[in-house]
Structure formats: structure tokens, C-alpha cells
Amino acid sequence: MVVSLSRRGEVEPFHAMDILAEANRLKSKGVPVISMAVGQPSDPAPALVRAAAAKALEDGRIGYTDTLGLAVLRKAIAEHYGDHYGLDVSPGRVAVTTGSSAAFNLAFLAMFDLGDRVAIAAPGYPAYRNIMAALGIDVVEIELDGAAYLHADHLRTAHREKPLKGVLFASPANPTGAVIAADELSALVQTANELGIAVISDEIYHRLAYAAPDTTALGHGADVTVINSFSKYYCMTGWRIGWMVLPVELVRPVERIAQSLYISPPELSQIAAIDAFKATRELEAVKARYAGNRELLMKRLPELGFALAAPMDGAFYAFCDVTRHTNDSMAFARKMLAEAHVAATPGRDFDPLQGHRTMRFSYAGSHDDMVEAMTRIERWLR
């Protein structure tokens, strides 16, 4: 037998998922693990969403939809931009996707060719780097060196060294939780336009900012590609449903690629997602719990020697400098899981250069779990 292996499979593993797999293995043996490793809300999808899904299942016919998604869902997403941001977005620019992960695949394939240079921030979400590397795109990681987020000057410097084809940034950001200030976001988008750099804005943590109003890059440029998801604020991770807002010129290329890669997003999840925008009261209560967890971790983590490496302005992450305890966050994370039974993500996922110094803690779980996790870590460190 001959097995053919491509170099694409040599991309860096997603260490958060490896940690989660180990945590789940321990849980299956009865070990009471508290997971702060992945960005997964502990709450279920809103009641309205689950009811809509149940009715669709009872009706019985779940099948293919248009590749870009159900017209009624695309309309609901477009209306959300009017209701929440005061922006007029045509439903024709909306593409529903199989989670934001599929949206990133589609954006990269439709926008960039082999060898194109695309900038991302370090630290940043590892799937950006890994997907682009697998596709043969040249990833330019811009070390933030203490800055909270990517600035226009970072972009100018990187472009001056060698021209960039694109830039991808997130606000609120994973792993840091940093939120790009509105004026800085405007400057970043305008600078990219001036330099001829295509912009992708990852907004999957939208509506999860605690100290600043929600903002979208769409308010600063019509040619921005925005990627979003029902996973985080809407508590629908396993439903695998996301969306893109595209420049008009990109709609048909994205549709053509999606037709062959995905056929269509899952219809059951699409039907359910239509009602997600009606569940604000329930979801704001969940967000209020995140805010309480945030306050707890902002106090307790520094007390335990985990200095905050970025402002916890949004999402549900604390990104910490762990050099008081270790210079190998990967080994430290494994040891903490095995001995304290608390899972957190080593920084290697987010920054290959400096990640040995950092860890990310997700506070999307229950408040009682967050209190218990801090107690366990304190006991373990002693």
C-alpha cells in the first residue's frame, strides 16, 4: 500500500484542541476537570433557537439550501446590521457559512493566490496562520510587542518591507480580548485602502465588548470583508453556522467555491439561527455572567502570579504572562491539567515566537467553575 502525504498536513497542531482532548479523556475517567482551554460558552443556545430547531425536526424535511444560505436568514443578518450598527447592508452581500471556519477558507481562497503575503497580528488566532499556510499563502506575523492590537503604523511598516496583499485582524481579539478603538479601526481600514491591501475583519466576538460600544469595520469601508458567527455571543458553537458580509465583487467567487466545497450550510442550523437575533434578553444575561467572571479573573490571576499581558476589554479570555512560574507554557499547561485538573491553553498556539511565555484562560464557563479553578490553581502552586 502506498500512502501519499502532502506537506499541507504538516501545519502546526491547534494545541487548544489537543488540551481539550486530554481534558475530555480525564473527564471520561471521572476526573473533575474544569476547562478554561477553549472559547466555548457553557450555556446552551437560546430557548427560541432550540424551539425553532425542534419544530424543523418535527416537520421532518431538512436538506440542501442555496449555497449562500436561506434567503430569510440572509435578510435577518442584514437587518441586524441596521438594528445594531445603524448600517444599510444588502442581503445580497451576505453569505451564510458552515461556521466561521468555512468563512475563513472561502475568504482566503477567493481573495488570495499562492504566495500572496497576508498580515496577521501575533499573538493571534492560530487557525488564521494554519489555514493560510496549508493553502500556500505567505503569512506575515506582525509581533505586537506590547501593543494591545494591530495599528496602522504596523501595517505601513510591514508593507514597506515587502508589499502585502491582505490583512486580517480581530476585534474583540482572540486570545487577548483587546478591542480596537473606533478611531484606530478607522485608521487601520483607511491605511489598508491607501496601500491597496484587502481587509478581512474577524468579528466573531461582536457584542462581547465590556468597556466600549460595539463597532464593525463595515462602518469604515465598503470593501471590507467581515466574518462573523453564531458560535460565541449566541452560544451556538456546535451548530456550525456563521456568515460573511462581502464586497459585491466577491459574492459570486465565494459562491462558486462554496458550491464545490460545502454545497450549502446545514439547513437545521440556519432555520434555528433566524431566531437568534430575537434572544437578546437571554443572551445579555449570559454576557453579564461573563462580565462577572472577567472581574474575578482580573483580580485573581495577577494575585496568583499570572500578569495580564493584554487588556481584557472583550471576548471571554484572559491572556497572561506566565514567566513568573515558567518559560515553557506548553509543559506548564499539561502539568496544571494533570495535577490541578484545570485546563488552559499554552501561548504557542497564538504566537510561535513568544508563546512559551504566555497562556490563555477562557472565562466562558459558570461563575462557580471560575472560582473553583482559581482555588485549585492557588492550591497547586503552593
Q: Are residues 254 and 285 in the same domain?
A: no
Look up the domain containing 147 and give its range.
Answer: 47-278
Tracing cell 437568534 back to the chain, one arrives at 276
Summarised one tens digit per residue, pLDDT across range 346-355 is: 998 899 889 9
* 245 and 139 co-located in one domain: yes
Same domain, 243 and 120: yes
The percent of residues above 70 in pLDDT, for the chain, comes to 100
- Mean pLDDT, to the nearest integer, of 225-231? 98
pLDDT in tens, 95-129: 999 999 999 999 999 999 999 999 999 999 999 99
CATH code for the domain of 240: 3.40.640.10
Per-residue pLDDT band at 8 (split at 50, 70, 90) = confident
Statement to judge: residues 215 and 88 lie in one domain: yes
Residue at which a domain ends, from 223, 258, 278: 278
Domain match, 78 and 183 both: yes
Asked whether the beta carbons of 189 and 199 are under 8 A apart, the reply is yes
Shared domain check, 331 and 235: no
- Name the average pLDDT for the chain: 95
Q: Are residues 212 and 267 in the same domain?
A: yes
Among candidate residues 261, 278, 295, the one where a domain is terminated: 278
At residue 238, what is the residue type? G
Looking at residue 282, what is its pLDDT? 98
Amino acid at 209: A
Q: Are 198 and 165 in contact (CB under 8 A)?
A: yes
Reported confidence tier of residue 14, pLDDT bands at 50, 70, 90? confident
71, three cell numbers: 434567503
Q: Which residues of 62-92 are buried (b: 16+ CB within 10 A; e: fewer)?
A: eeebebbbbeebbebbbebbeeebeeebebe
Distance CA 339, CA 374 (A): 14
- For residue range 303-344, what is the model confidence (pLDDT) as tens digits? 999 999 989 999 999 999 999 999 999 999 999 999 999 999
Residue 54 predicted with pLDDT over 90: yes
Q: Higher pLDDT residue, 212 or 47?
A: 47
pLDDT tens digit sequence for 142-163: 999 888 999 999 999 999 999 9
- Residue 284: the pLDDT is 97
Instruction: State the pLDDT at residue 70.
Output: 98
Q: How many whole angstroms separate alpha carbon 97 and alpha carbon 104?
A: 10
Residue 253 within a domain? yes
Q: Is the Cβ–Cβ distance between 270 and 63 less than 8 Å?
A: no
How many domains does the chain contain in total? 2
**Cα 195 to Cα 186: distance, rounded to the nearest angstrom:** 14
Asked whether residue 330 falls in the same domain as residue 224, the answer is no
pLDDT score of 44: 96
Which pLDDT band, with edges at 50, 70 and 90, does 209 fall under? very high
Q: What is the pLDDT of residues 73-88, one digit of tens each?
A: 999 999 999 999 999 9
pLDDT band at 289 (very low <50, low <70, confident <90, very high): very high
Model pLDDT, residue 65:
98
Same domain? For 38 and 82 the reply is: no
Residues in the chain: 382
Residue 1 domain-assigned? no
pLDDT, residue 141, reads 95
Q: Does the pLDDT of residue 50 top 90, yes or no?
A: yes
pLDDT given for residue 4 in this prediction: 87
pLDDT band at 60 (very low <50, low <70, confident <90, very high): confident
The separation between the first and the last C-alpha atoms of the chain, rounded to the nearest angstrom, is 54
Residue 7 banded pLDDT, cuts 50, 70, 90: confident
Domain end among 278, 297, 332: 278
Q: What is the mean pLDDT of residues 356-363?
A: 96
Whether residue 97 sits in one domain with residue 216:
yes
Residue 1 in this model has a pLDDT that exceeds 90: no
Residue 217 pLDDT > 90, yes or no?
Answer: yes
- pLDDT for res 2: 83
